[in-house]
Structure 1
Amino acid sequence: MTPGGRRGRYDSWRNRERYHIARTLGGNDFSEIVEDCTVSEGRRKAAPVRRRGKRHWALRVLGWMAALFFLGVIAVSAVFFIGYQTTDIPDPNKAFATNTTTVYFSDGRTPIGSFYDQNRRSVPLSQIPKTVQDAVIAAEDRTFWTNPGISPSGMARAAFNIARGQQLQGGSTITQQYVKIMYLTQERTFSRKFSELFIATKLSREKDKKEILEGYLNTIYFGEGAYGVAAAGDAYFSQSNPAKLSIGEAALLATVLNNPTRFDTDSTEPAVKQRVLDRYRYVLDGMRQTGTITEADYAKWSKAVPPLDKKPKANRFKGVQGFLLDMARKELSRLGVPDDQISGGGLKITTTFDVDLQKKMNASIAERPKKKGDLHIGMASVRPGTGELVAVYGGPDYLKNQLNWATLRARPGSSFKPFAVSAALQNDFNIYSTFQGDSPIEVQGHKLKNEFNKDFGDVTLKEATEQSINTAFYDLVDNQMENGPAELVKAAEAAGIPKTNALERGKDNPSTVLGPDPYASPVEMANAYATFAARGLYVPVHTIKKVDYPGKAQDWTDAKLPRKQTVPQDVADQVNYVLQNVVDGPNGTGKLAKDLDRPVAGKTGTAGGVGVEHRAANTKCDGCKDGSDTLTSWWTGYTAGYKSPTDSKGLSTSVLYRAGKTGESDLDPYSDDPAFFGGNWPLRTWLAFMDPALGSSDKAEFDQPSDDALKDSPMPTNTLTYPPTNPPTNTPTNPPTNTPTNPPTNTPTNPPTNTPTGKPTKTHTPKLPTIPTGGPPTPNGGTVGQ
């Protein structure tokens, strides 16, 4: 065919078509019209091609996604089917009979004691009333009667936790929990979880639900060493017959079995009590929804948890060691060890408690006022740079009183001032910055005073800390430092004081520097000061060193503890320098610590308010007793010797005195001082422990601050001296056998010569709440400065 053949005819025909279209549209120039038509036609054809391409790409992606989804479903189904078919229900655990868990001191050889032996008594389901059955189902697995033995939502939650790198958690059905107890181990691994799912599914198909529920109710751990509902009723309510349990008692047992430590019915902490009540009401609500109880029953029982009638704890908790066992148990639970394993898993628990130091601390409590009554001592000692709680005194006998005075938080008073020093040094102040020492000082429209309203003139930060001058610290935190209270709280939390609601409120509180709320316990205060002793290295305080499981061990010290430089090293060195002056300075409130005959840094603290026994009268007289009582009295001090986390010879020890059944009574009647100052009895008790605890160990010195930090010093930087080997003749090493009528001449309070013979009224700080967890203070109450 010639070149002008078919293709030529096609082009000629297309041009004629364009020509006729153009003439119809009114065009004249054929070439322009053809060109325009060609471009227009090209544009018309190009757009649809692109749109079809986009749709095609999107459809292909959706197709691949759908294919992958269905392949995934098929794969999961295949895995589950194969796993189900190849999994046999094993014989019940012969090792379910629990083994005693033993707790040791840090040497791993000397036992502190053991946890509960197994307490279990099985009863048939026919003897367990419907209220008890339904309470447990409402708490743990509301779809128990209809589900296939597993919970897809629980599986999803477990997968999510694994993806986040967290420990595999619960969310299991009653059937799964029963399988874990009777057929598997307690370890939380992915393979064990899959075995649990397959066995639970098969067990749910092959066994009657009533049989599974009966087995579960007779084996699940309820706390207090009780396995099964019959033993639990006996342990919590002295009622071994489940048929005689009330609705409320059944609901409370179902409440605690979820986590006996988290839902601790013995706890006095408001947050834990509220947590128990909320869970208890959740259980009752589930019983109401299923028709087990009526609206009237719910209204009656949901008002409060029923009263407990527990049997006395075993003698193994008698004495001081009961507090050590209780603290170890609570920490194990926080670490994720299941409660039933803690009680009967046959574990070997090695704690951080040093047997020799613990004996010395127990003996040191004898150094106290002769008048005892309801006088309480809380004491704790931490190894700087390690976070190890090496000794603790929570009370004389855990069986007689479970209030642990070493872990209960209290008002720290002036013990909080070192954190203000740390905050100041990190906010362009130095230890020779000057502040107002005269009394009173005006803060946010309120006139706040020094102890005994004494004037000191302008003072440096170093002098203000040495003599515990309140107005200087008010001037620093509330007047001169930008966002002072918030910076103070930030510095306290960096050192190791826990972040609590009470402390967070302090960010807007003009009295935060004098610790008017229960910010810290002796354990927490000792560890926060230990951060300074370790040159700013913070390690969480802990009591568990190692856990030996049957067949394996886990070292919690290395595996679980973060170490972080939370305070700059140069700042920590300066804080240590300033706090040494509290002991060595001519007017230091802690100069009695010179008797230790080695470098010591520390701080006194007393917090005032109105004792619980005076609050009714104070209300009647419109606050006339505000600030007249001493509610807490502290000495926290530490020694040098820290080189590294594996080479730390020093100790940081905190001593707290409180009075009254709840620790809210007046301390002043126990001392002949103008007030129960921290520089007297708390410091004496501290000495009675630290002297034998440190013995003849090296008398290490603290690292000196840099020359730049001390360049504004009014005196040479090497003038800081330590006490002579023999203490001054007028400094009694032991307290006098008879309480003197007048305060000893070395009492580190330096009251003015015109100190009134009667008890002073401490009215220089905002008013304290009448309970430790009260809200923001108002003027004219009292936190004592020393």
Structure 2
Amino acid sequence: MATACVENRYPVTLEEVSPWVINGFIATEDRTFYEHNGISLRGIARAALHDLRTGERHGASTITQQLAKGLFLVPDQTIQRKIQEAFIAMEIERQFEKNEILEMYLNQIYFGAGAHGIEAAARTYFNGSSAAELSLAQAAMLVRMVKNPSGFNPQNNYERCLIQRNVALQVMASEGYITPVQADEAMNTPLAVEIHRPEIEQEWTYFSEYIRKYLVNRYGWSAVYEQGLRVYTTLDPDMQIVAENALNSILAEKEPVWDPETGEFLSDSERLRHESSYAHWQALRDTVSGVPDYLQGALVALDPATGYVKAMVGGRDFQDSEFNRAVQARRQPGSSFKPFVFAEAIEQGWSPGSTILDQPVVVQMFPGSWRPRNYDHTFHGMVTLRTALARSFNVSAVRLGMAVGVEAVAARAMAMGLTSRIPIVHSLSLGSCMVNPLEMAQAYIPFATGGLARDAVAILRVEDRYGNVLEDNQTPSAGRRVLSETGAYLMNSLLQSVIREGTATGARWYWGGPYSGRRAGGKTGTTSDYADAWFVGFTPDLVASVWVGYDNHVVRMRLQNGRGQSGSSIALPVWNSFMRGVFEGVPADSTVSFPAPPPNSVETAIICTITGKLALETCGENTRQEEFWEGTAPQDYCTLHDYSAGTFLPDTTLPDFTEFDMNYTNHGEN
């Protein structure tokens, strides 16, 4: 997927190297390798004689001396350095076996084109081939390249490289390592070089940078960049592509259109008013300074059964901005935080059919006061928890948070998977904390698993250069229980209602539809004046968190017609597009379902959604079947619509702010 290195090197054992390579180096570089003690007097004499005859300098360094120079010395040509080289070589010979020295040498030497060591050279020059797969002709070419990696590079000096390869073949034949026939056959073979440089060709991404930072933090810089770690990740490449396409396509549809001919943005009432776009930045980024100011987003997808990260998009273009919004951004989650408030209430004994008052409330701040408002600027009287969450009523959420305790809500959210600091304030019920998309996806896992939380995991296994396992996450976590099975079931039911009848109906998620028959739940989120838009949703086998907004917190997501872009209008379409792409073509599987509640733990009743009591025929459209903890369903019938008793009240709401509102001191009502 990606390579992080100071030098492109893949350490291998001697058994993983073609015998042609080993024999070629011994024949051409050090024919008495297995006989000397680090320096070769015969080689020195032969080199001196050559120098006297030709007037040219001829190297006499053994393989061990070349290793000593490469590991410990600077490449100058002084007498002092040659003496140091000889002494170090002899010490290496005393410390290591011959084959160990040869193995270190083959992993150390430089072959040009950024390739350090024989394995990297094989992969670089022969399109990903391994050192074990090198043919005689290929091995001979690489053997001679160490003499002059730049001068004998086949890309720039094909004829010189061909001549030097054939010299190596002739020497191998004269030394008896190959027959003259084998030499002739190899010399008649073209070089057939196909350069492959993964460290340059691979595109660095938000996910690979996330992995790199984790590895450096855990194992250290040297281990990551110099010691050849092999890292196996949890990422699903196909799902990653779908995620990137979903985010980029939806956001591109929302941005204003820039006309390169006029250099201006076109007027379009259904597009964002902020004059910036990805296309505009790509055209101008080489002529401007600073960070990109176009609309951004992030998406994280997790497997709830394992916690494995299946997709991570930290922005629209890593080359433009390396800031990973999936893990580094700290943004308010808005109403997507509300499920933690409702989860705490459910665990305290509330049920989806329990009622909460959605009427004005004043929270004393000392100094000052805070008056939460609903998104639709109205109040709705007595509502069930299901209605309050599905329609994302703010006032009832604040009242519910006050009823169950803000401290308990914060503790519940942290237990479920939020890792950022959570302030203990009444506005927490509306998502006034700062979080990132990864932890939001992680914290929603219990809603899909029957109450079991799991930490997000991005790495399956880490091995050192010798194959020793340093980290192994291939056995998924059993999870930790953070919600009761019944509580998780009831919360799952509430969050399905958000998609079925609430703020996320735009997902068009229906049973047996284009999502392989899977049910889904989730929650939208929008922060003050459209600074942030969220949707966090899940199926039984996938949890995905989406955030959309501008990096500059001051810029708001408003269309040119003035309408704001909420979680349901800009983040939900990204999630929907991603889910459609993931499940496209997947056969419907009825076994993929959410966990059921324990036997005899949930009961149902047909209630009036205004009073929360058993419904009468006269309750009409306010009637629905609702779920309750076993033994907690209402026993009394609705009195509001009992016309025979003469108690009908035509209006159950209160004016905007009343004496009741101003004098409110209790911590909640139900």
Question: How big is the shift at 1:436?
Answer: 1.5
Q: Percent identity?
A: 25
Contact 2:306–2:476, Cα closer than 8 Å, also in 1: no
Residue 593 of structure 2 aligns to a residue whose secondary structure is coil
Give the 5 Å matches for 1:210-229.
none
Q: What is residue 370 of structure 2 aligned with on the other side?
A: 446
Contact 2:559–2:565, Cα closer than 8 Å, also in 1: yes
Question: How big is the shift at 1:635?
Answer: 0.7
* CA shift in 2, pair 1:493/1:468, >3 Å: same
**Alignment deviations for residues 676-712 of structure 1 (CA, whole Å, 9 cap, x no partner):** 1111121111111111202224263333446543445
**How many aligned positions are there?**
379
Residue 495 of structure 2 aligns to a residue whose secondary structure is helix
**Alignment deviations for residues 395-419 of structure 1 (CA, whole Å, 9 cap, x no partner):** 2332321111111221000000000
* CA shift in 2, pair 1:378/1:690, >3 Å: same
- Is 1:344 the counterpart of 2:344? The answer is no
Contact 2:353–2:626, Cα closer than 8 Å, also in 1: no
Where structure 1 has 5 or more consecutive residues not aligned to the other structure, the ranges are 1-111, 121-181, 184-224, 226-313, 609-628, 641-649, 720-786
Pick from 308, 325, 335 the counterpart of residue 388 of structure 1: 308
Q: Which amino acid aligns with 1:511?
A: S
**1-structure distance, mates of 2:413, 2:205:** 31
* CA shift in 2, pair 1:418/1:671, >3 Å: farther
Q: What is residue 543 of structure 1 aligned with on the other side?
A: 458
Residue 379 of structure 1 aligns to a residue whose secondary structure is strand
**2-structure distance, mates of 1:517, 1:316:** 40
**Alignment deviations for residues 28-54 of structure 1 (CA, whole Å, 9 cap, x no partner):** xxxxxxxxxxxxxxxxxxxxxxxxxxx
Question: How big is the shift at 1:718?
Answer: 9.2
Contact 2:314–2:325, Cα closer than 8 Å, also in 1: yes
Where structure 2 has 5 or more consecutive residues not aligned to the other structure, the ranges are 10-70, 73-113, 115-198, 257-275, 278-293, 608-623, 629-670
Q: Which amino acid aligns with 1:466?
A: A
Pick from 492, 499, 510 the counterpart of residue 583 of structure 1: 499
Q: What is residue 370 of structure 1 aligned with on the other side?
A: 255
Residue 669 of structure 1 aligns to a residue whose secondary structure is coil
**Alignment deviations for residues 223-247 of structure 1 (CA, whole Å, 9 cap, x no partner):** xx9xxxxxxxxxxxxxxxxxxxxxx
Residue 683 of structure 1 aligns to a residue whose secondary structure is helix
**Alignment deviations for residues 504-545 of structure 1 (CA, whole Å, 9 cap, x no partner):** xx22x0100111131x21111111112211111111102111
Give the 5 Å matches for 1:237-386.
318=203, 321-334=204-217, 336-365=218-247, 366-368=249-251, 369-371=254-256, 373=277, 374-386=294-306
Question: How big is the shift at 1:670?
Answer: 4.3
Q: What is residue 637 of structure 1 aligned with on the other side?
A: 537
Contact 1:495–1:532, Cα closer than 8 Å, also in 2: no
Question: How big is the shift at 1:713?
Answer: 5.4
Contact 1:658–1:665, Cα closer than 8 Å, also in 2: no
Give the 5 Å matches for 1:359-758.
359-365=241-247, 366-368=249-251, 369-371=254-256, 373=277, 374-407=294-327, 408-439=329-360, 441-442=362-363, 445-478=369-402, 480-481=403-404, 484-498=405-419, 500-501=420-421, 503=422, 506-507=423-424, 509-518=425-434, 520-554=435-469, 555-558=471-474, 563-585=479-501, 588-595=502-509, 597=513, 598-608=518-528, 629-640=529-540, 650-659=541-550, 662-670=551-559, 674-695=563-584, 696-697=586-587, 698=589, 700-705=592-597, 708-711=601-604, 714=607, 715-716=624-625
Residue 388 of structure 2 aligns to a residue whose secondary structure is helix
**2-structure distance, mates of 1:562, 1:599:** 23
* CA shift in 2, pair 1:711/1:684, >3 Å: same
Residue 113 of structure 1 aligns to a residue whose secondary structure is coil
* CA shift in 2, pair 1:704/1:563, >3 Å: closer
Contact 2:490–2:627, Cα closer than 8 Å, also in 1: no
Contact 1:577–1:704, Cα closer than 8 Å, also in 2: no
**1-structure distance, mates of 2:472, 2:462:** 7
**2-structure distance, mates of 1:441, 1:528:** 30
* CA shift in 2, pair 1:493/1:116, >3 Å: same
**Alignment deviations for residues 735-765 of structure 1 (CA, whole Å, 9 cap, x no partner):** xxxxxxxxxxxxxxxxxxxxxxxxxxxxxxx
Contact 1:431–1:578, Cα closer than 8 Å, also in 2: yes
* Superposition CA RMSD, Å: 3.2
**Alignment deviations for residues 570-616 of structure 1 (CA, whole Å, 9 cap, x no partner):** 2111111000000112xx000112246341100000111xxxxxxxx
Contact 2:352–2:627, Cα closer than 8 Å, also in 1: no
* CA shift in 2, pair 1:651/1:486, >3 Å: same
Q: TM-score with structure 1 length normalisation?
A: 0.45
